[in-house]
Structure 1
Amino acid sequence: MADQKNYARGAMLCLLATVSWGAMFPLMDVTLRHIDPFTFTCMRYAIAGAMFLVFLRLREGTTGLHLTGESVGLAWLFGTAGFAGFQFLVFFGQELIGERGALNASIMMATMPMMGFLVNWVLRKVVPPKGSLAFIALSFVGTILVVSEGDLGSLFAHPEDFGPDALLLFAALCWVIYTSGAAFFPTWSPIKYTAITTVLGLASATAITAVILATGGVSVPTAHAMGTILPELAYMSVVAGFVGVLSWNFGNKYLGPLNGVLFMDVVPITAFVISALSGVIPAGMQIVGASLTALALIFNNLYLRLAGRNAVVQPAARPAATPDTGEENSAPMATGR
């Protein structure tokens, strides 16, 4: 029963996070008209990072702020991947693409489940379950149908977007690396991992942005521009930043990164729904695609729960007696790892 509650809690938290992130891509279309993605990312996570630290202090006291026992350098690396690598690349790629940037950025998030399995395979030697690979493929097919309206040729109709799309793919890889990084800090709670990596990643993002602004890579935003994007900044900092990231890390703590990352397929579906609410009527194949993605999420969750239950039940079986002596065989049972 406790495992079922944890799965349900983790699924709800991951769903909350990905829905909040799905809405941020259409919002960034508006934001990028007034401010560059680098400065905006620093502003966003300066606010969210301060909130994380306050929340960590309230929940774990001053001991929660201590970094002893774990590698600060590794935390900085994962934080940089998540809060500089992902944030910079995804919104810069979206800006380069232009009008269809939000759509392209959101679909690239659907590549994260497959990347997640590969990253865990490399970093943690976790062999991907065959059943989950099938459900990932199903969810990706569903997402492709949604964003292409069933016309797969439309995905290749704009070759000029291949470069920016490559940035979006690398951004997705950065977020997968960040998500997988939590497993390297077993003594840290999700709150602590989120807070510490956000602050360390913000330091990298600020340094990179300072260099870009100093060298004239982008113009320094005006006070008027900053005032114009305050509503978007509030959503991106508090909802998508603080609530979304914290929910994501807690959800992955309950589900594990292999199961949790599958929820990234909700991001493009959310972007699609928001577009539909703004007056874009969904095509029949888009509804089919959304249904496939939803079913993939449900079936993968059930599959991993069943596989986990079988793994617990099998070792509990009584050891077989040896034919010669009748004594119980005490040889250790082989595991799948």
Structure 2
Amino acid sequence: MQANTTNAPVATQNAYGKGVMFCVAATVLMGIMFPVMTDALTHVDPFTFTSLRYLIAGTFFLALLIAKEGKGAWRADGESLALAWLLGSVGFCGFGSFVFLGQQLAGPEGALTASIMMATQPMMGLLLNSLVRKTLPPVVTLLFILMSFAGVSLVVTKGDIVAALHEPQHYSANALILVGALCWVIYTFSAAHFKRWSALKYTTLTLWLGLTTIVGLNGVLVALHVVPMPSAAEVWAIAPHLLYMGPIAGFVAILFWNMGNRILTPLNGVLFMDVLPVTTFVLSSLTGVVPARAQIAGASMTGLALIFNNLYLRRRARRLAAAR
């Protein structure tokens, strides 16, 4: 008994350390994703790239699912495959198409905008949760949400709102990125409905079901000549980008994120979303896209809003528990 008592804190500390490493690694890998896409989108359209990316990532997830849960893991086990298809379409097709199309329209600085909007996803989740439950968030949380989106506006406008209002492309590009980020929030938020599925099974099955929408949409757009059929030279040009976006950002990052959140819990894991825009900003600077001071200030505002709101919700939860 004495040995178990002595080792328990060490084991807990080791698990916490692993959770931190998984979450940090995941958000760093996700942050690198947007500068990588800046170059990739100069060769192909976002729809074709999304199809190829998730076909690669999906193959890795499928292999892991079969290895861990067996061939019977494809069974629905009483869950709705129609709902899984809808959520996979919203999460993977919606996120990939809207975010990367918006990033392409925004040009070289689209990576900065996309990354900072990803950091607002926890705030979007709070709003979505309140909408579903028909209850308003606490007033303090609402203020932090406003602070978060004020930070986003600084990144998007570089602090010059008047100039941004006279550039219509800002509206369409930023709206698309925002909708794409919301798609991923809805997808993540809805995972709780699939209680009989593991996190790995939910990810794998929704990804493959969503791929029918991704590839189908891509095929329709090519057939209608909205986007061109990529040439062999263009596919070869994006091969290095796919090597990162498929196995690493599409598979390893998501796997690490799920493992880290399982250890730390989402309340703690969500704080690491702050690492994502920092990574993007640093890498973009190294590639020649240097953020303006207003953009750095805006990213800091969004990050602080996320951290302060997390701390506030923890204290509020403790007070409510003590009152009960």
Shorter-chain TM band:
0.7 to 0.9
- 1:48 aligned onto 2:57: yes
Report what 1:245 is aligned to. Answer: 254
Q: How many residues align?
A: 315
**CA displacement at 1:210 relative to structure 2:** 1.1
Letter in 1 for 2:82: G
Q: How far apart are 1:77 and its partner, in Å?
A: 1.2
Q: Deviations over 1:224-263 (max 9, x none)?
A: 1111111110111122100222233444556666765565
- Deviation at 1:86? 0.9
Higher helix share: 2
Residues 284 and 39 (structure 1), Cα distance of their counterparts in 2 relative to 1, 3 Å cut: closer
Shift in alpha-carbon separation, 1:132–1:270, aligned structure 2, 3 A: farther
Corresponding residue for residue 101 of structure 1: 110
Kept in 1: contact 2:104–2:110 (CA 8 A): yes
Aligned residue for 1:321?
Answer: none
Equivalent residue for 2:5? Answer: none
Contact 1:38 1:209 in 2 (8 A): yes
C-alpha displacement of 1:295: 4.0
Structure 2 residue identity aligned to 1:97: A
| TM-score, scaled to structure 1 | 0.79
Report the Cα distance in structure 1 between the residues aligned to 2:135 and 2:254, rounded to whole angstroms.
Answer: 24
Question: Does the 8 Å contact 1:143/1:269 carry over to 2?
Answer: no
**Distance change (3 Å), C-alpha of 1:84 and 1:286:** closer
What are the equivalent positions in structure 2 for 1:60-75 lying under 5 Å apart?
60-75=69-84
Q: 1:231 to 1:96 in 2, by over 3 A?
A: same
Q: Are 1:113 and 1:136, in contact at CA under 8 Å, matched by a contact in 2?
A: no
Query: 1:267 is matched with which residue: 247, 253, 276?
Result: 276
2:213 matched residue in structure 1: 204
Q: Tell me, in whole angstroms, the C-alpha distance in 1 between the residues paired with 2:18 and 2:303.
A: 17
Deviations, residues 101-154 of structure 1 (Å, cap 9, x unaligned): 223333333442332112122335575344444444444445555565555555
Greater Rg over alpha carbons, structure: 1
> After alignment, is 195-204 or 100-109 more displaced?
100-109
The alignment yields a C-alpha RMSD, in angstroms, of 3.2
1:214 aligns with 2:228: no
Mapping for residues 324-335 of structure 1, pairs under 5 Å: none
- Find out whether 1:116 has 2:125 as its counterpart: yes
Q: Contact 1:147 / 1:272 at 8 angstroms: preserved in 2? A: no
Of 25-34 and 141-150, deviating more is 141-150
Cα deviation for residue 43 of structure 1 reads 0.8
Tell me the residue number matched to 2:35. 26
* Separation of aligned partners in 2, 1:153 and 1:110: 25
Quick check: 5-14 or 165-174, which moved more? 5-14
For the pair 1:85 / 2:81, whether they are aligned, the reply is no
Distance 1:249 1:154, change over 3 A: farther
Shift in Å at residue 277 of structure 1? 3.0
TM-score by length of 2: 0.82
Correspondence for 2:240: 231
2:137 corresponds in structure 1 to 128
Deviation at 1:14, TM superposition (A): 4.1
Cα gap change, 1:203 to 1:119, in 2 (>3 Å)? same
Q: Which runs of 5+ in 1 are unaligned?
A: 316-337
Does residue 1:37 correspond to 2:46, yes or no?
yes
Residue of structure 1 aligned with 2:85, choices 56, 76, 89: 76
Q: Which runs of 5+ in 2 are unaligned?
A: 1-8
**Structure 1 residues 126 and 89 mapped into 2: Cα distance closer, same or farther (>3 Å)?**
same
Greater shift after overlay, 33-42 or 65-74? 65-74
